[in-house]
C-alpha cells in the first residue's frame, strides 16, 4: 500500500508530485463528466480544503460504486500525486483505486449537503456538523489555541495543575452552581428540621460542578511558584447572551510573589502569543472566518499583536464614560461594574486598541483581591479587547491575613478556613 498522508501534507507541499499516495476521508462533493471521469473532493479534517481525486471509468468498481457515491461517503483513495491541471489547487490525485468504506444510502437527502447551512439548522444535525467548513475550522482553531496556551506557560516555567471538576466550594461566591447528586429527587432523605439530608448523598455533603479552579490552584502556587489550570468550567447563569455560557474552558494562572503589573504583563503576553500562533497555524481557517463570519477578525487579531495595551485606572475609565456623550443602556457612575457596552466603547472608540482597566471598587470584587491603600479599591484588572469587551480578568491576591479575614467576614463567607493557611 502507498504511504498514507493527511490532506494537509499533500496540499502543503510535503510530498513531491509523482509519489504514490493514499488518503482516507469523506466526500465533500463528486462531479461526473461525460468523458467517463469522476472528480472526488476528499476531506479528512487535517486542513480546510479537500483534495481532488480524478477517478477514471477503468476502475473495476467505477460503475457500481464510484458513480453511486454521494456527499458524506467514507472512502480510501490510492493513486499518484500529480500537478493539477485545473485552478484552485497545485496538486491532485490520479486515482488507481477507490475503496468505499461507508456509503451514504440516500445521497439525495444527506443532511449536510454542499451548501451554506444556518447555525440553527446545524443544531438539529449536531452529530454531522463537525463535517461542515465552519465547525471543522472552529475545531482546528481551538486545537491551535490550546496548544499555544500550554506552550506559552511551559516556556515560562509554569506547571499545569488539573483542579477538581466536582467541588464543594463556590469560588466566586455567586451561588450560580450546577448541583451534582445521586439522591433520588422523587424520594429525598430529610433531616428532623425538614431540610434535605445531604449526608446521605454520594459525597456525604453538597457537591457542585466547578465554577473556577482558582482557589485550588492557589494552593499549588504556594508550593510551585508558577502554575495554571486549564479546563472545563460551569456556570448556572440563565442568560442567553454571547457573554454567558453554561460550559466553557478557562485558563487561570497564578504567580507567587507577583503584583498587579506582573499580572497585566502576563495577560498581554499571553494574548499576543496565542493570536500570533493562530494566525500562523490556521491561516486557511482564519481566511474562511474573515470571508464568511466576520470581515474584521484578521485586522482585530493583528491589532492586538502589533499594539501596546493601554493602561487605565477604573476611576479614569468612569470619568471618560461619564463625559463621552454616549447614550448607554446602563448608566455609568463610580462603583458600578462596567457593562459590555462600556468596555467596548473604551477599547474601540476612545483608545482604539486593547485596554487594561485596573483598581476596581472593592464592593464589586471578590474577597481574595488585595485591598489598595485607599481602602476603597482592590488591585484587580480586566483586559478589554476590541470587538469583544472583557477577555481576561485577574487580580493581585490578598496576602495580609488580618485584611483577608476582614474581607471574608464582610462577605459572610464560611467553610474557607483552609484558604487562610
Beta strands 20-32 and 3-4 are: parallel
Are both 273 and 319 inside the same structural domain? no
As a whole number of angstroms, the distance between CA 27 and CA 22 comes to 15
- Asked if the structure places residue 131 within a domain, the reply is no
As a whole number of angstroms, the distance between CA 168 and CA 202 comes to 12
Q: Output DSSP code: residue 2.
A: P
- Asked if the structure places residue 177 within a domain, the reply is yes
- Asked if the structure places residue 128 within a domain, the reply is no
Per-residue pLDDT tens, the chain, 421 aa: give them. 457 899 999 999 999 999 999 999 999 999 999 999 999 999 999 999 999 999 999 999 999 999 999 999 999 999 999 999 878 789 999 999 999 999 998 888 899 888 889 999 999 999 999 999 999 999 999 999 999 999 999 999 999 999 999 998 776 555 589 999 999 999 999 999 999 999 999 999 999 999 999 999 999 999 999 999 999 999 888 777 666 788 999 999 999 999 999 999 999 999 999 999 999 999 999 999 999 999 999 999 999 999 999 999 999 999 999 999 999 999 999 999 999 999 999 999 999 999 999 999 999 999 999 999 999 999 999 999 998 889 999 999 999 999 999 999 988 888 788 888 8
Among residues 79, 102, 125, which one ends one of the domains?
102
Are both 91 and 147 inside the same structural domain? no
Are both 156 and 279 inside the same structural domain? yes
The CATH number linked to 16 is: 2.40.50.140
Are both 327 and 392 inside the same structural domain? yes
Is the pTM higher than 0.85? The answer reads yes
- Domain of residue 244: give its range: 136-289
Closest CA relative to residue 48, chosen from 291, 362, 272: 291
The CATH number linked to 413 is: 3.30.930.10
- Asked if the structure places residue 271 within a domain, the reply is yes
Q: What is the pLDDT of residue 1?
A: 47
> What's the angle, vertex CA 129, arms to CA 126 and CA 131, rounded to 5?
145
Among residues 289, 316, 345, which one ends one of the domains?
289
Are both 172 and 219 inside the same structural domain? yes
Q: What is the pLDDT of residue 388?
A: 85
Q: What is the pLDDT of residue 238?
A: 79
Are both 180 and 233 inside the same structural domain? yes
Q: DSSP letters along 388-416, please?
A: TEEEEEEE-B---HHHHHHHHHHTT--S-
Are 28 and 42 within 8 A, CB to CB?
yes
Q: What is the pLDDT of residue 86?
A: 78
- Asked if the structure places residue 283 within a domain, the reply is yes
As a whole number of angstroms, the distance between CA 290 and CA 377 comes to 40
Are both 275 and 166 inside the same structural domain? yes
Are 200 and 208 within 8 A, CB to CB?
no
Are both 14 and 66 inside the same structural domain? yes
Are 269 and 255 within 8 A, CB to CB?
no
Are both 268 and 401 inside the same structural domain? no
Beta strands 377-385 and 310-313 are: unpaired
Tally of domains in the chain: 3
Torsions phi, psi of 7, nearest 5?
-60, -35
Closest CA relative to residue 166, chosen from 178, 182, 183, 184: 178
Q: What is the pLDDT of residue 286?
A: 98
Q: What is the pLDDT of residue 237?
A: 83
- Asked if the structure places residue 112 within a domain, the reply is no
Among residues 58, 77, 102, which one ends one of the domains?
102
As a whole number of angstroms, the distance between CA 385 and CA 301 comes to 9
369-372 contacts, C-beta under 8 A, 24 or more apart: 369/395, 369/396, 369/397, 369/398, 370/260, 370/395, 370/396, 370/397, 370/398, 370/399, 370/403, 371/398, 371/403, 371/407
Beta strands 247-255 and 159-160 are: unpaired
Beta strands 226-234 and 159-160 are: parallel
Are 214 and 171 within 8 A, CB to CB?
yes
- Asked if the structure places residue 123 within a domain, the reply is no
Are both 79 and 196 inside the same structural domain? no
Beta-bridge mates of residue 43: 26
- Asked if the structure places residue 108 within a domain, the reply is no
Are both 251 and 334 inside the same structural domain? no
As a whole number of angstroms, the distance between CA 76 and CA 23 comes to 6
Are both 144 and 281 inside the same structural domain? yes
Beta strands 37-43 and 51-56 are: antiparallel
Amino acid at each position: 500500500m502507498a504511504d498514507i498522508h493527511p490532506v494537509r501534507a499533500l496540499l502543503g507541499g510535503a510530498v513531491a508530485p509523482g509519489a504514490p499516495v493514499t488518503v482516507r476521508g469523506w466526500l465533500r462533493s463528486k462531479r461526473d463528466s461525460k468523458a467517463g471521469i469522476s472528480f472526488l473532493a476528499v476531506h479528512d479534517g487535517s486542513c480546510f480544503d479537500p483534495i481532488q481525486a480524478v477517478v477514471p471509468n477503468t476502475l473495476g468498481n467505477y460503475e457500481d460504486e464510484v458513480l453511486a457515491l454521494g456527499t458524506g461517503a467514507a472512502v480510501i483513495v490510492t493513486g499518484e500525486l500529480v500537478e493539477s491541471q485545473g485552478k484552485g489547487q497545485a496538486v491532485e490525485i490520479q486515482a488507481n483505486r477507490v475503496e468505499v468504506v461507508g456509503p451514504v444510502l440516500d445521497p439525495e437527502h444527506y443532511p449536510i449537503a454542499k451548501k451554506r447551512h444556518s447555525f440553527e439548522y446545524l443544531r438539529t444535525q449536531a452529530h454531522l456538523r463537525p463535517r461542515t467548513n465552519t465547525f471543522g475550522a472552529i475545531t482546528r482553531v481551538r486545537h491551535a489555541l490550546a496548544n499555544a496556551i500550554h506552550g506559552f506557560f511551559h516556556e515560562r516555567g509554569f506547571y499545569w495543575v488539573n483542579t477538581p471538576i466536582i467541588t464543594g466550594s463556590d469560588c466566586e461566591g455567586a451561588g450560580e452552581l450546577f448541583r451534582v447528586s445521586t439522591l433520588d429527587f422523587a424520594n429525598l432523605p430529610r433531616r428532623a428540621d425538614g431540610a434535605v439530608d445531604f449526608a446521605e448523598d454520594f459525597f456525604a455533603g453538597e457537591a457542585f460542578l466547578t465554577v473556577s479552579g482558582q482557589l485550588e490552584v492557589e494552593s499549588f502556587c504556594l508550593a510551585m511558584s508558577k502554575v495554571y489550570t486549564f479546563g472545563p468550567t460551569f456556570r448556572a447563569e440563565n442568560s442567553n447572551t454571547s457573554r454567558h455560557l453554561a460550559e466553557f474552558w478557562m485558563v487561570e494562572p497564578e504567580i507567587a510573589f507577583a503584583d498587579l503589573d506582573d499580572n497585566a504583563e502576563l495577560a498581554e503576553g499571553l494574548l499576543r502569543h496565542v493570536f500570533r500562533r493562530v494566525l500562523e497555524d490556521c491561516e486557511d481557517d482564519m481566511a474562511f472566518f474573515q470571508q464568511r463570519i466576520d470581515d474584521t477578525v484578521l485586522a482585530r487579531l493583528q491589532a492586538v499583536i502589533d499594539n501596546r495595551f493601554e493602561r487605565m485606572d477604573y476611576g479614569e475609565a468612569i470619568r471618560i464614560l461619564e463625559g463621552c456623550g454616549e447614550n448607554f443602556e446602563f448608566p455609568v457612575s463610580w462603583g458600578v461594574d462596567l457593562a459590555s457596552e462600556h468596555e467596548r466603547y473604551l477599547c474601540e472608540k476612545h483608545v482604539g486598541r486593547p485596554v487594561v482597566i485596573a483598581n476596581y471598587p472593592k464592593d464589586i470584587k471578590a474577597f481574595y483581591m488585595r485591598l489598595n491603600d485607599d481602602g476603597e479599591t482592590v488591585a484587580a484588572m480586566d483586559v478589554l479587547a476590541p470587538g469583544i469587551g472583557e477577555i481576561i480578568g485577574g487580580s493581585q491576591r490578598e496576602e495580609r491575613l488580618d485584611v483577608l479575614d476582614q474581607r471574608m467576614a464582610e462577605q459572610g463567607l464560611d467553610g474557607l478556613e483552609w484558604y487562610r493557611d
